[in-house]
Amino acid sequence: MPERNASIAAVLDEIADLLDIQGANSFRVRAYRNAARSIGDLGTEVDVLMEGGTALTEIPGIGTDLAKKIVDILHTGTCEFLEQLHSELPAAITQLLKIPALGPRRVRTLYQDLHIENLEQLLQAAQTGQIRGLPGFGEKTEQRILEAVQGRIAMARRHPLAVAARYAEPLAEHLRAVSGVTRVDIAGSYRRMRATVGDIDMVAIAADSTAIMERFVSYPSVTQVISKGPTRSSVLLAPGLQVDLRSLAEDSFGAAMVYFTGSKAHNIAIRRMGQDRGLKINEYGVFREASRIAGATEESVYATIDLPWIPPELRENRGEIEAAQKGTLPKLVHLSDLRGDLHLRGKPGESAAEIVDAARARGLEYVCVVFDERAFGVDAGRVPNALAALNRPASPRVLTGIEVGIDLDGTLDAPDAILRQFDLVIAAVRDQLDLPRTLQTQRVLNALQQAHVAMLAQPVAIDGAESFDVDFSTIVRAAVERGVALEFSMHPRRLAPPDSHLEIARRDGARIVISSEAEEAAELDTLRFSVGFAGRCGFAPAQVLNAHPLSDLGGWLESHRAR
DNA sequence: GCCGTTTTCGGCCCGACTGTTTTCAGTCG
C-alpha cells in the first residue's frame, strides 16, 4: 500500500476504534472504517491523486467531513478529532480490542469499572479474578482473556496462501470422505487469491450436518475447538490457522459461496443492489418476500441483480461491479495460459530432472532451471554439462538460469564471467530488508542497470518480515525502460507481494513472469496461486511473459545475454 | 459520517454461536 495512504488509513481506523469504545453510533463508526479501507485500497497516494485534479469526495465513502480530516492527516500526521478522542480515552486502549472475546462494549466496561487501559492492567485484573464479576463477563470469559493475554492462544496472524493450502486442502479432502457430503469448497480470501490469508472459510453441502461437524472438530491437526454448532464450527489448526466450516443445503450452495467468498465490501455492495430491487441476499439464497428466487449457483445469485458472474479474484468492490455492469470485466490470466515456468529450483542431475518431468506432464513448453549462486559457488562450469542430461528430445525445452543476490550498492554477488554462461539472470534482494526507502530503492535501481539482469525477483522473506520499503513506481519505470521483467511468485520463500505492487506494474505496462520456484515436483502446484494473484490484480495473458511461446522470448533473453 | 434516477432525512447486511442471562447482549465473520 502506498506509504502515506497507509498512515491515513491507520488514523481513520484508530478513530473508528475509539468511537466504537465510546459507544458512538455504529454507522458512524462504520463510515470511518469504510473510509480507511477505501484509502488503503488506492493504488496511488492520495496527494498524488489530488494534484492530478481528483477531489477526495470522489473516493467512495469519503464525504466533505472526512475529506477535511484526510487533508489534515496528510499535513500533520494526525487530526484534531483524533487528538480530542485521545484526551477522552487513553491511547493504548485500542490494543484491548485485539483480544478475542473483547469488543467495544466490554472494553468500555473494563475501562469504566476497573480503569483498565492497557494489556498489562488487563492481565493483572484477570489474574486477580476481578473481571468475572463485571456485568456481561463471567469465569469463562475471564479465563479466555487471561490465556489470550499470556500469549497461549496464537494471536491472529496471516499465512501465505501456499502455506495455508498445505493445511486447508487435506482438511477439505478429509471432510469430503464423510458419507452424505456432496461438496466441500474453500471460499474466503483463499478463493479470492489474496497473497496471505487470515483464516480459511469452508462451505460444505451435507445431507446430515452433525456427521461433518463431528469429523471437522476431531480432525487430528485441530489444536483447539473455538466453537461448534449444527451448521457452523470453528477450529484452530497447528500453525495457528483458524478454519471456519459452514454446512448448508444443496440449493443454497451458490449463495453460500458468494457470501463466504466475500469480500465483505463486495457482499455489502451486492446486497445493497438486491435491496434496491426488493430482494434479500444472504448465505441461503436470494429472496423476494418469503420466496427463494435463486441460490443454487453463484451465476443465479448474480443474475438476480443483473450482473454476470464475477471471478472471485476481483471481488473487492474496487470497480469490478461497475465493470460487470458495463460488460468490461478484464480477461484474467489463467493457469492454462502459461506456456512455461522460468524459475524451477533444483540441483543438477537430482531433483531437477524430476521437476522437469512434472512440468512436461503439465504441458509446459519450456522451463528454466535456476541455480542459486550461493549453493553453486564459482563452479558454474558444471552447469551446462549437468543440463545436457535434462534436455531431452520431448518438450519442454530446458533453459538455464542463475539467481544472484544484490549487494547494498546494487552490484551483484557473482562476476560477469559466470553470469553470461546462463540463459537467464535473476537478481534478488535477500538481506537488509529494513533499509530506509530511498536507499533500498537506489539499491534495486542500481541492480537493474547491471549487465545480464533480465528479471527482478521478489525479496526473499526473512524472519516473517512483512514489508520491503521501496518506491515501487520508480522501480517499475526503470524496469520497463531496461526491458527487465518483474517476477511474481507465491512461493513461501518470497515475501508476499502487496496488491499495490502488481497494480502499479500492470498500470505502468511492466512485463511480469509468474514462477513456481518449485524445489520439488509437488510445488509446481503453487503456480495456480501465483497466477490467481496476478489475475486478482487484473493481469491479462499478454502482459505475462511466460504466457507467450518460447519463440517470443528469444529476443528478450538474447538482449540481456549480450549486454 | 455517507449517501440519493423514489430520498437532503432516514436509512445504513445480517445470521450463528457463546456466555451470561432467565430472554438476550456481545462478538464474530
Residue nearest to nucleotide B12 (CA to C1'): A27
Cα–Cα distance list, A337 to A16, A333, A548 (Å): 44, 6, 8
* Nearest nucleotide to A247, CA against C1' atoms: B16
Which residue has cell 522460468? A342
Which nucleotides of strand B are protein-proximal, with an atom < 7 A from a CB? 1-3, 6, 11-21, 25-29
Residue A369 pLDDT > 70, yes or no? yes
- pLDDT mean over A230-252: 89
What is the rounded CA–CA span in Å between residue A531 and residue A537? 10
Model pLDDT for residues A11-48, shown as the tens digit of each residue: 899 999 999 998 888 889 989 998 998 888 787 888 88
Residue nearest to nucleotide B11 (CA to C1'): A27
pLDDT band at A3 (very low <50, low <70, confident <90, very high): confident
Q: Which of A365-369, A518-522, A553-557 has the highest mean pLDDT?
A: A365-369
Q: Which three cell numbers stand for residue A509?
A: 505496462
A103 CA – B28 C1', rounded, Å: 9
Q: Which long-range contacts (CB under 8 A, 24 or more apart) does A138-146 make?
A: A141/A101, A141/A106, A144/A100, A144/A101, A145/A99, A145/A101, A145/A102
Which residue has cell 474453500? A186
* Nearest nucleotide to A102, CA against C1' atoms: B27
- Rounded to 5 degrees, what are φ and ψ at A465? -55, 145
A203 CA – B12 C1', rounded, Å: 28
pLDDT at A201: 94
A303 CA – B4 C1', rounded, Å: 24
Range in A438-442, A489-493, A514-518 with the lowest mean pLDDT: A489-493
Residue A354 pLDDT > 90, yes or no? no
* Nearest nucleotide to A59, CA against C1' atoms: B2
A126 CA – B26 C1', rounded, Å: 19
Residue A511 pLDDT > 70, yes or no? yes
Residue A4 pLDDT > 60, yes or no? yes
Mean pLDDT, chain A, integer: 87
Specify the pairing of strand A340-345 against strand A366-372: parallel
Range in A3-17, A199-213, A306-320, A369-383 with the lowest mean pLDDT: A369-383
- pLDDT mean over A508-527: 90
Find out whether A148 and A119 touch, Cβ atoms under 8 Å: no
Residue A376 pLDDT > 80, yes or no? no
- pLDDT mean over A447-455: 95
Percent of all residues in chain A with a pLDDT value above 90, rounded to a whole number:
40
Range in A142-151, A203-212, A293-302, A380-389 with the lowest mean pLDDT: A380-389
pLDDT at A69: 92
Question: Cα dihedral sign for A442, A78, A30, A201?
Answer: positive
Residue type at position A255: A
Residue A338 pLDDT > 60, yes or no? yes
Residue type at position A518: A
Q: Which three cell numbers stand for residue A374?
A: 550461493
A61 CA – B3 C1', rounded, Å: 9
A127 CA – B22 C1', rounded, Å: 29
pLDDT at A2: 67
- Rounded to 5 degrees, what are φ and ψ at A183? -150, 140
Residue A154 pLDDT > 60, yes or no? no
Residue nearest to nucleotide B14 (CA to C1'): A282
Find out whether A531 and A333 touch, Cβ atoms under 8 Å: yes
A421 CA – B11 C1', rounded, Å: 68
A28 CA – B8 C1', rounded, Å: 18
Strand spans (E) along A279-380: 280-282, 285-288, 291-294, 340-345, 366-372
Residue A152 pLDDT > 60, yes or no? no
* Nearest nucleotide to A15, CA against C1' atoms: B1
Cα–Cα distance list, A474 to A439, A471, A477, A481, A503 (Å): 13, 6, 5, 11, 14
pLDDT at A241: 87
Asked if omega into A263 is within 30° of 0 (cis), the reply is yes
A499 vs A359, more confident = A359
**Element spanning A356, H or E:** helix A351-361
Closest by Cα among A279, A310, A297, A267 to A205: A297
Residue A463 pLDDT > 80, yes or no? no
A269 CA – B13 C1', rounded, Å: 9
Contacts of A417 (CB under 8 A, 6+ apart): none
Residue nearest to nucleotide B24 (CA to C1'): A136
Cα–Cα distance list, A65 to A56, A61, A431, A434 (Å): 10, 11, 43, 36
Domains, in order of start, for chain A: 3-149 (1.10.150.110), 159-248 (3.30.460.10), 264-326 (3.30.210.10), 335-561 (3.20.20.140)
- pLDDT mean over A63-90: 89
What is the rounded CA–CA span in Å between residue A323 and residue A325? 5
A56 CA – B12 C1', rounded, Å: 22
pLDDT at A379: 59
pLDDT at A153: 54
Residue nearest to nucleotide B21 (CA to C1'): A136
A500 vs A51, more confident = A51
Question: Cα dihedral sign for A177, A180, A183, A188?
Answer: negative
- pLDDT mean over A337-348: 86
pLDDT band at A380 (very low <50, low <70, confident <90, very high): low
Model pLDDT for residues A191-206, shown as the tens digit of each residue: 999 888 889 999 999 9
Residue A402 pLDDT > 70, yes or no? yes
* Nearest nucleotide to A272, CA against C1' atoms: B13
- pLDDT mean over A339-356: 78
Find out whether A173 and A183 touch, Cβ atoms under 8 Å: no
Find out whether A95 and A101 touch, Cβ atoms under 8 Å: no
* Nearest nucleotide to A31, CA against C1' atoms: B1
Closest by Cα among A349, A335, A325 to A526: A335
Residue A375 pLDDT > 70, yes or no? no
pLDDT at A505: 92
What is the rounded CA–CA span in Å between residue A383 and residue A414? 15
What is the rounded CA–CA span in Å between residue A505 and residue A511? 8
Q: Is A232 helix (H, G, I), strand (E, B) or coil?
A: strand
pLDDT at A548: 96
Residue A527 pLDDT > 70, yes or no? yes
pLDDT at A196: 85
Contacts of A63 (CB under 8 A, 6+ apart): A57
pLDDT at A381: 59
Residue A405 pLDDT > 90, yes or no? yes
